[in-house]
Amino acid sequence: MVCHGFRDRNIDDTNTLRAVMDQTNRIIKNIIEGEYADAIDYQAVPHVTAFASGSIDEANFAMLKRDYEACMDVDAITAAGSQPLVDLIAELNSIWPIVDSDDVESKVTEADYASLSSAVYFLEAVGIRSLVNVGVGSDPLTPV
């Protein structure tokens, strides 16, 4: 967003963007650490809420809250240590064995393509982006 003069055209004070981001992060933290009933009525920005209790929105909020709490559970993360990473590498190695050589390029043949594809799919499934990422987004230079 700093490319093409965005900051020069839109931010008078260089600290303004940081202040907005900090405030947004505080709002999100307050929402996610609270209860769903409070989240749908949160008035940081005036809005009309059309979500009812028991809606898919409530289920999504619960999932987001669970994931946030897992990320904030330092004791559990410390107790797990490096074992989750070791397990991930072992599973990846079972899908596409890691070669014990510096010359990986000459060892990858057409017979490896299916395993390589499965390995990339596995990494994507666990949230690790692959070499190619396809998505749809807005163009910051020509917003709609």
Per residue in 66-122, pLDDT (tens digit) is: 989 988 899 999 999 999 999 999 999 999 887 666 665 667 778 888 988 899 889
pLDDT score of 118: 92
- From 35, 51, 80, give the residue that closes a domain: 80
Q: In 3-state terms, what secondary structure has residue 99?
A: coil
Decide if pLDDT at 52 tops 70. Answer: no
Residue owning tokens 């650490």: 33
How far is residue 111 from each of residues 84, 99, 119, 124, measured CA to CA in Å?
Answer: 30, 14, 14, 21
- What domain count does the chain have? 2
Provide CB contacts within 8 A for 65, sequence distance 6+: 32
Residue 20 tokens read as: 């907005």
- Claim to verify: residue 89 and residue 118 sit in the same structural domain: yes
More confident residue, 123 or 138: 123
- Claim to verify: residue 43 and residue 91 sit in the same structural domain: no
- Claim to verify: residue 63 and residue 86 sit in the same structural domain: no
Decide if pLDDT at 142 tops 90. Answer: no
**58 occurs within a structural domain:** yes
- Claim to verify: residue 92 and residue 66 sit in the same structural domain: no
- Claim to verify: residue 66 and residue 86 sit in the same structural domain: no
pLDDT score of 89: 92
Decide if pLDDT at 46 tops 80. Answer: no
Say how far apart CA 104 and CA 70 lie, in whole Å: 37
Say how far apart CA 73 and CA 92 lie, in whole Å: 26
CA 82, 84, 85, 91 dihedral sign is positive
How many CB atoms neighbour CB 61 within 10 A?
19
Check if the beta carbon of residue 140 is closer than 8 Å to that of residue 6: yes
Decide if pLDDT at 41 tops 90. Answer: no
**140 occurs within a structural domain:** no
Decide if pLDDT at 47 tops 70. Answer: no
Residue 42 tokens read as: 């949160």
**142 occurs within a structural domain:** no
Decide if pLDDT at 2 tops 50. Answer: no
Residue 37 tokens read as: 């009933």
Domain containing 115 equals 82-133
Percent of the chain predicted with pLDDT > 90: 18
- Claim to verify: residue 75 and residue 87 sit in the same structural domain: no
**9 occurs within a structural domain:** yes
